[in-house]
Amino acid sequence: MKDTIRLGVTLLLICVVAALVLALSNNATKGVIAEQALQESLKLVKEIFGEDNEFEMYEGAKLEEITSKIPGVIDVFKVSKSGNTTGYAIKTEASGYKPGIIILSGINSDGNINGVRVLSHQETSGIGTNALTTEHLSQYDGLNIDANDSVDAVSGATRTSNGVDKGVKIAIDAYKSLQE
């Protein structure tokens, strides 16, 4: 009986120490992971709009105002050149076959989509991922946000195609709210 209690207490202590180590590791790396995600987003914003632009990330109340009105918006980057706004890059989250497709949509000030990139996803490799290729995403390039143009879904990856489309539409809604 004593051995059983001693083993139970020992196991409890090991679990407590392991939980503390995991909590401390998570806390220590949280900032680094967030910074890496920001750098990856900025890299794609520059890829969509070009290196010669200036980028301002919305934070705090400014971002909260948009995210509270439009669910699915994660981040907003204002893009400008020589002090003039040239567009916005809007990071959104939508669901395809699985939740968690993170999409970055660039929209020029003239209301045309400048580019769409996928930052992360959990879609099925070889099936859903077919809707996440550069070839498929390039169908959005140049579309006007007010036109009723549509992008063809990828056969066999309809849910993922619809998820990407939903993410782009969320970005368009956010862009329009920024223009008000």
Domain assignment present for 26: no
Domain count, the chain: 1
Give pLDDT, residue 156: 86
What is the pLDDT, as a whole number, of residue 126? Answer: 87
Are 109 and 87 in contact by the 8 Å Cβ rule? The answer is yes
Residue 102 tokens read as 């993170």
CA–CA gap between residue 141 and residue 137 (Å, rounded)? 8
Tens digits of pLDDT across the chain (180 residues): 788 999 999 999 999 999 999 999 888 888 888 888 888 888 989 999 998 999 999 999 999 999 999 999 999 999 999 989 999 999 999 998 888 999 999 999 999 999 999 998 988 888 888 888 889 899 999 999 988 777 888 888 889 999 999 999 999 999 999 987
According to DSSP H, which parts of 50-133 are helical? 60-69
User: With contact defined as beta carbons under 8 Å apart, do 75 and 93 qualify?
Assistant: no
Q: Which residues contact 113 (CB under 8 A, 6 or more apart)?
A: 105, 106, 107, 140, 141, 142, 143, 144, 145, 168
Q: Across-strand partners of 113?
A: 107
| pLDDT the model gives residue 125 | 86
What residues make up the domain containing 169? 45-179
